[in-house]
Amino acid sequence: MDIFDYDYRTYMNAISAVFQDYKLFNFSIFENVTCKPFNRNEEKPDSSSAMEVLNEVGLGDKIKSLKDGIFTYFGKNYDENGTEFSGGQSQKVAIARALYKQADLVILDEPTSALDPLAEAEIYQNFNELTKGKTAIYISHRMSSSVFCDRILVLDGGTVSDFDTHENLMKKTESLYYKLFDSQAKNYSEGLSAAAN
C-alpha cells in the first residue's frame, strides 16, 4: 500500500525512531522520555510508565540516585541542579523515548553508537524483550549487532545483496556479509589481544 494513502497522523503514531544524531532537550528527564510538558507548580504527573522503560534500558538506578529523580532537568541550562549524562546514558534516554511511544514499528539507526561494548551488549541482550510484539528495523555498521536479528538485509552500493538469518549468511563464505563480519571479528579480537599485552 502506498504510504501516501495512509492518514499522516495515523502512520506517524505507528512509527518510533532513534537516530544516531538524536536530540535531548534541557527539560526534565520525564519530559524527554514522554514528550509531555507539565506545570512545575502543580502536582507531578504519574511517571511509572516512563520509569519502566528507563529501567528496561538500564538507567533506573541512575535516575533513582538523582535528587529530583525522573523530574531532574537534563543539563544545567535551566537548573544548576540539573544532571549531565554521558553520551551512552543520553543515548539510552533516546531509546527509552522511542520505546515509551508504544509504536508498532521501531526504527533504530545506529542507536548504540555512543555506548561502550558492555553497555551495547546489555542493550542487545534485552533488545528482543524491549521490542516484544513490535516490528523493529535495526540499522548498523557494527556486524556484531546483527546476530540477534531475525533477518538481515545486506545493502551493497544501494542494492540488496543478501537477505537471510545470520546463521545462513555465515555459511556463504564468499558473501559480503561473511567478509565484513569476519573482518570486524578479527579486528576486535586483535584489539583485545593488544590491550591485554
Spatial distance between the Cα atoms of 43 and 158, rounded to a whole number of angstroms: 52
What share of the chain has pLDDT > 90, as a percent? Answer: 50
Q: Tell me, what's the pLDDT at 193? A: 56
Output phi, psi for 74, to 5 deg: -90, 115
Task: Tell me the one-letter amino acid at 78.
Answer: Y
Q: Work out the pLDDT band at 184, boundaries 50, 70, 90.
A: confident
* Between 8 and 122, residue with greater pLDDT: 8
Q: Please tell me the distance from the alpha carbon of residue 96 to that of residue 109, in angstroms, as a whole number.
A: 14
pLDDT tens-digit readout, 166-181? 999 999 999 999 998 9
Span 14-143: which CATH code? Answer: 3.40.50.300
User: What would the 3-class secondary structure string for 29-95 be?
Assistant: HHHHHHCCCCCCCCCCCCCHHHHHHHHHCCCHHHHHHCCCHHHCEECCCCCCCCECCCHHHHHHHHH
φ, ψ dihedrals at 13, nearest 5°: -70, -25
Query: How distant, in Å, are the alpha carbons of 6, 10, 30, 48, 135 from that of 128?
Result: 28, 25, 24, 22, 10
> What is the rounded average pLDDT of the residues 15-44?
90
pLDDT at residue 168 in the model:
96
* pLDDT classification of 80: cutoffs 50, 70, 90: confident
**pLDDT over 70 (residue 190):** no
> What are the residue ranges spanned by the domains of the chain?
14-143, 161-197
Q: What is the pLDDT of residue 154?
A: 93
- pLDDT at position 194: 57
